Amino acid sequence: MNAITQAKRIVIKVGTSTLAHKTGMLNIRRIESLVKTLADLQNSGRELVLVSSGAIGVGSGKLGLKERPSDTPTKQACASIGQCELMYVYDKLFSEYNHCVSQILMTRYTTDTPNCAQNVVNTFERLFSLGVIPIVNENDSVSVEEIEFGDNDTLSALVAKLTNAEALVILTDIDGLYDDDPRKNPDAKLIPVVEKIDARIEALAQGKGSTLGTGGMITKVNAAQMATKAGIPVYILNGADPKILYRLFDGETVGTVFTV
């Protein structure tokens, strides 16, 4: 069951709530710990892809907006500002550990158009062979409703499929999937293993997440559905301490795994 200890190519998705404070400003301590952990995992011989949200949240923080914007042009402007900031910080921190990162921005058009999908696959493959860690986000400044993924959970599952990853890890602001809402019910219990995503699991995942991100648990369960159907196990973990990834890769049971 613990295929992750052997997995080489892994997609790791990190959400806005993990990367940014509630103010929208970057959580520097967290992002430093994430980068250090990922750099070390890459050093151990794994091939990582980081799917990072945070562009809109960080852009709105940088502009001093009180909350995530709701209109599309402001969201797009924030994404365009925040994406620079994010990549600047990732590049700076990964360079400290001698790792090269790259940016890949995708839209639905990229995955739905066979030519584009093949082009991006070629880029990924070449980046892997060069030892680079690709950092992926949605191209929010060109995506509008009809071509948007909407949330990076779906994007991360598509990236896992495109790159033939052996595992998808989603870092979020909760320990995994619970049998009830742990924010309301202190007796709610974490579900360590989900073998089948049925109506009961979908019902448990309903409800929205934090104020800065999109998604919530339902988009993660939908992403898990998409990835596991393609034979890729999915792990949902709390990203509050990114070093949890070491425990996962060492074979410890942490968070919720969706098995194949």
Q: Which residues form the interface with ligand GLU (CB under 6 A)?
A: 16, 53-57, 79, 137-138, 140, 151-152, 213-215
From first CA to last CA, the distance across the chain in angstroms is 9
User: To the nearest whole angstrom, how small is the minimum distance from the Cβ of residue 129 to ligand GLU?
Assistant: 27
User: To the nearest whole angstrom, how small is the minimum distance from the Cβ of residue 53 to ligand GLU?
Assistant: 4
Sheet holding 193-194, edge to edge: 101-106, 133-138, 47-52, 9-14, 167-172, 234-238, 256-258, 193-194
User: To the nearest whole angstrom, how small is the minimum distance from the Cβ of residue 252 to ligand GLU?
Assistant: 27
Q: Specify whether the CB–CB gap between 220 and 213 falls below 8 A.
A: no
CA distance 16 to 22: 10
User: To the nearest whole angstrom, how small is the minimum distance from the Cβ of residue 215 to ligand GLU?
Assistant: 5
Nearer to ligand GLU, 83 or 256 (CB): 83
Q: Specify whether the CB–CB gap between 174 and 15 falls below 8 A.
A: no
Nearer to ligand GLU, 213 or 239 (CB): 213
Nearer to ligand GLU, 215 or 255 (CB): 215
Residue 172's beta-bridge partner residues?
238
Residue with tokens 């009830």: 180
Nearer to ligand GLU, 112 or 180 (CB): 112
